[in-house]
Structure 1
Amino acid sequence: MSKRPRVRAPELRGRAWLNTGGRDLSLAGLRGRIVVLDFWTFCCVNCLHVLDELRELEEKHRDTMVIIGVHSPKFAHEAEPQAVVDAVERYGVHHPVLDDPELATWKQYAVRAWPTLVVIDPEGYVVAQHAGEGHAHAIETLVAELEAEHAAKGTLRRGDGPYVPPEPAPGDLRFPGKALRLPDSGHYLVSDTTRHQLVELAADGETVVRRIGAGVRGFVDGPPEHARFSEPQGLALLPDGTVVVADTVNHALRVCDPASGAVSTLAGTGRQWWQGAPTSGTGREVALSSPWDVAWFAGKLWIAMAGVHQLWAYDPADGTVAVAAGTTNEGLVDGPAAEAWFAQPSGLAVSGAGDRLWIADSETSALRWIERDGTSDGTSGGAGDAATFTVRTAVGTGLFDFGHRDGPAGQALLQHPLGVTALPDGSVAIADTYNHALRRYAPATGEVSTLATDLREPSAAVLTESSDLVVVESGRHRLTRLRLPEETVRVEPVAHRTQRAATEVAPGRLRLDVVFQAPAGQKLDTRYGPSTRLLVSATPPGLLAGGAGSGTDLTRELLLADGATEGVLHVSATAASCDDDPANPYPACHMHQQDWGFPLRITPSGRTRLPLVLAGMDDRA
Structure 2
Amino acid sequence: MDVGTARPSTVLDTAVTTVKRRARVRAPELVGRGWLNTGGTTVSLKDLRGKVVLLDFWTFCCINCLHVLDELRPLEKEFEDILVTIGVHSPKFVHEADPDALAAAVERYEVHHPVLDDPELTTWQNYAVKAWPTLVLVDPEGYVVHVAAGEGHVEALRTIIGELVAEHDAKGTLHRGSGPYQAPEPASTTLRFPAKAVVTPSGTILVSDSAHHSIVELEADGETVVRRIGTGERGRQDGTSPTFSEPAGLALVPNTHGYDVVIADTVNHLLRGLDLTTGEVTTIAGTGEQWRDGETDGPADKIELTSPWDVAWWNGGVAIAMAGNHTLGFFDPAAGTVRRLAGTTVEGINDGPAEGAFFAQTSGLAADGDRLWMVDSETSALRYLEHGEVHTVIGKGLFAFGHKDGDADEALLQHPLGVTVLDDHSVVISDTYNNAVRRYDPAARTLTTIATDVAEPSDALLVDGELVVVASAAHRLERFAASATRIDGAAHEVKRPSTDIASGAFELAVVFTPPTGTKLDERYGPSTRLEITSSPPELILEGAGVSTELVRALRINDQVTNGVLHVVAQAASCSDDPADEHPVCRLTRQDWGVPVRVVADAPTRLPLLMGGMDEGAGQAT
> What TM-score bracket applies, with the shorter chain setting the length?
over 0.9
Unaligned runs of 5+ in 2: 1-19
In 2, the alpha carbon distance for the partners of 1:122 and 1:400 equals 38
Amino acid at match of 2:55: L
Q: May I ask how many residue pairs the two structures share in their alignment?
A: 595
Matched with 1:609 is 605
Aligned residues of 1:4 and 1:127 also touching (Cα < 8 A)? no
Aligned residues of 1:430 and 1:439 also touching (Cα < 8 A)? yes
Q: Give the deviation of 1:106 after TM superposition.
A: 0.8
Unaligned runs of 5+ in 1: 373-388
Matched with 1:425 is 424
Amino acid at match of 1:345: T
Q: Give the deviation of 1:599 after TM superposition.
A: 1.7
Matched with 1:381 is none
Q: Give the deviation of 1:546 after TM superposition.
A: 2.1
Aligned residues of 2:346 and 2:567 also touching (Cα < 8 A)? no
In 2, the alpha carbon distance for the partners of 1:269 and 1:565 equals 45
Matching of residue 137 in structure 1 with residue 155 in structure 2 = yes
Q: For 1:100, which of 114, 118, 134 is the aligned residue?
A: 118
Aligned residues of 2:448 and 2:487 also touching (Cα < 8 A)? no
Matched with 1:37 is 55
Matching of residue 569 in structure 1 with residue 587 in structure 2 = no
Aligned residues of 1:54 and 1:136 also touching (Cα < 8 A)? yes
540-549 vs 261-270, which moves further: 540-549
573-582 vs 454-463, which moves further: 573-582
Q: For 1:262, which of 280, 283, 307 is the aligned residue?
A: 280
Matched with 1:383 is none
Matched with 2:551 is 555
In 1, the alpha carbon distance for the partners of 2:44 and 2:572 equals 35
Matching of residue 88 in structure 1 with residue 106 in structure 2 = yes
Flag the 1:121–1:335 CA change in 2: closer, same or farther, 3 A.
same
Matched with 2:360 is 343
Q: Give the deviation of 1:438 after TM superposition.
A: 0.8
Find the residue that maps to 2:389 and give its secondary structure: strand
Matched with 2:214 is 197
Question: Taking CA–CA contacts closer than 8 Å with sequence separation of 6 or more, which of the two structures ends up with the larger relative contact order?
Answer: 2
Find the residue that maps to 1:341 and give its secondary structure: coil
Q: Deviations over 1:157-186 (max 9, x none)?
A: 1111111111100110110000111121x1
Matches within 5 A, 1:159-174: 159-174=177-192
In 2, the alpha carbon distance for the partners of 1:620 and 1:279 equals 35
Matched with 1:176 is 194
Identity %: 59
Q: Structure 1 stretches (4+) deviating beyond 3 angstroms?
A: 2-5, 618-621
Amino acid at match of 1:73: P
Amino acid at match of 2:549: D
Matching of residue 370 in structure 1 with residue 379 in structure 2 = no
In 2, the alpha carbon distance for the partners of 1:563 and 1:444 equals 36
Find the residue that maps to 1:152 and give its secondary structure: helix
Aligned residues of 2:406 and 2:486 also touching (Cα < 8 A)? no
Amino acid at match of 1:501: P
In 2, the alpha carbon distance for the partners of 1:504 and 1:339 equals 28
Matching of residue 110 in structure 1 with residue 156 in structure 2 = no
In 1, the alpha carbon distance for the partners of 2:526 and 2:330 equals 30
609-618 vs 311-320, which moves further: 609-618
Q: Give the deviation of 1:569 after TM superposition.
A: 1.7
Amino acid at match of 2:308: P
Q: Deviations over 1:569-602 (max 9, x none)?
A: 2222211212223333222221222222222122
Q: Deviations over 1:41-64 (max 9, x none)?
A: 111111111111111111000111
Q: For 1:489, which of 476, 485, 489 is the aligned residue?
A: 485
In 2, the alpha carbon distance for the partners of 1:530 and 1:204 equals 59
In 2, the alpha carbon distance for the partners of 1:557 and 1:229 equals 46
In 1, the alpha carbon distance for the partners of 2:552 and 2:115 equals 36
In 2, the alpha carbon distance for the partners of 1:34 and 1:311 equals 40
Matched with 1:438 is 437
Q: Deviations over 1:350-399 (max 9, x none)?
A: 11xx1211011111111111112xxxxxxxxxxxxxxxx11111111211
Amino acid at match of 2:614: M
In 2, the alpha carbon distance for the partners of 1:312 and 1:510 equals 36
Task: Give the CA RMSD over aligned residues.
Answer: 1.5
In 2, the alpha carbon distance for the partners of 1:214 and 1:584 equals 42
Q: For 2:245, which of 222, 226, 230 is the aligned residue?
A: 230
264-273 vs 584-593, which moves further: 584-593
Aligned residues of 2:540 and 2:556 also touching (Cα < 8 A)? yes
Matched with 1:524 is 520
Amino acid at match of 1:357: L
Q: Deviations over 1:264-311 (max 9, x none)?
A: 101111110111x22112111211100001111001111111001111
Matched with 1:378 is none
In 2, the alpha carbon distance for the partners of 1:54 and 1:146 equals 18
Matches within 5 A, 1:315-334: 315-334=332-351
Find the residue that maps to 2:430 and give its secondary structure: strand
In 1, the alpha carbon distance for the partners of 2:103 and 2:336 equals 41
Matched with 2:69 is 51
Matched with 1:589 is 585
In 2, the alpha carbon distance for the partners of 1:4 and 1:535 equals 32
In 1, the alpha carbon distance for the partners of 2:339 and 2:581 equals 31
Aligned residues of 1:509 and 1:558 also touching (Cα < 8 A)? yes
Matching of residue 75 in structure 1 with residue 93 in structure 2 = yes
Amino acid at match of 1:236: A
Find the residue that maps to 1:8 and give its secondary structure: coil
Q: Give the deviation of 1:126 after TM superposition.
A: 1.0
* TM-score, normalised with respect to structure 1: 0.94
Amino acid at match of 2:516: A
Find the residue that maps to 1:545 and give its secondary structure: strand
Flag the 1:620–1:201 CA change in 2: closer, same or farther, 3 A.
farther
Q: Give the deviation of 1:559 after TM superposition.
A: 1.9
Amino acid at match of 1:474: S
Q: For 1:22, which of 40, 45, 53 is the aligned residue?
A: 40
In 2, the alpha carbon distance for the partners of 1:118 and 1:4 equals 17
In 2, the alpha carbon distance for the partners of 1:201 and 1:117 equals 41
169-178 vs 531-540, which moves further: 531-540
Q: Give the deviation of 1:608 after TM superposition.
A: 2.5
Q: For 1:503, which of 476, 499, 502 is the aligned residue?
A: 499
In 2, the alpha carbon distance for the partners of 1:4 and 1:252 equals 45
Aligned residues of 2:541 and 2:556 also touching (Cα < 8 A)? yes
Aligned residues of 1:129 and 1:613 also touching (Cα < 8 A)? no
Find the residue that maps to 1:518 and give its secondary structure: coil
Amino acid at match of 2:544: A
Aligned residues of 2:360 and 2:377 also touching (Cα < 8 A)? yes
Aligned residues of 1:315 and 1:321 also touching (Cα < 8 A)? yes
Flag the 1:213–1:3 CA change in 2: closer, same or farther, 3 A.
farther
Matched with 1:385 is none
Matched with 2:14 is none
In 2, the alpha carbon distance for the partners of 1:580 and 1:213 equals 44
Find the residue that maps to 1:500 and give its secondary structure: coil
Matched with 2:83 is 65
153-162 vs 538-547, which moves further: 538-547
Q: Deviations over 1:463-487 (max 9, x none)?
A: 12x32111000010000011211xx
Q: Give the deviation of 1:5 after TM superposition.
A: 4.1
Q: Deviations over 1:481-530 (max 9, x none)?
A: 11211xx1222321011111111223333322211100111111222211
Find the residue that maps to 1:177 and give its secondary structure: strand
Q: Give the deviation of 1:566 after TM superposition.
A: 1.8
Find the residue that maps to 2:159 and give its secondary structure: helix
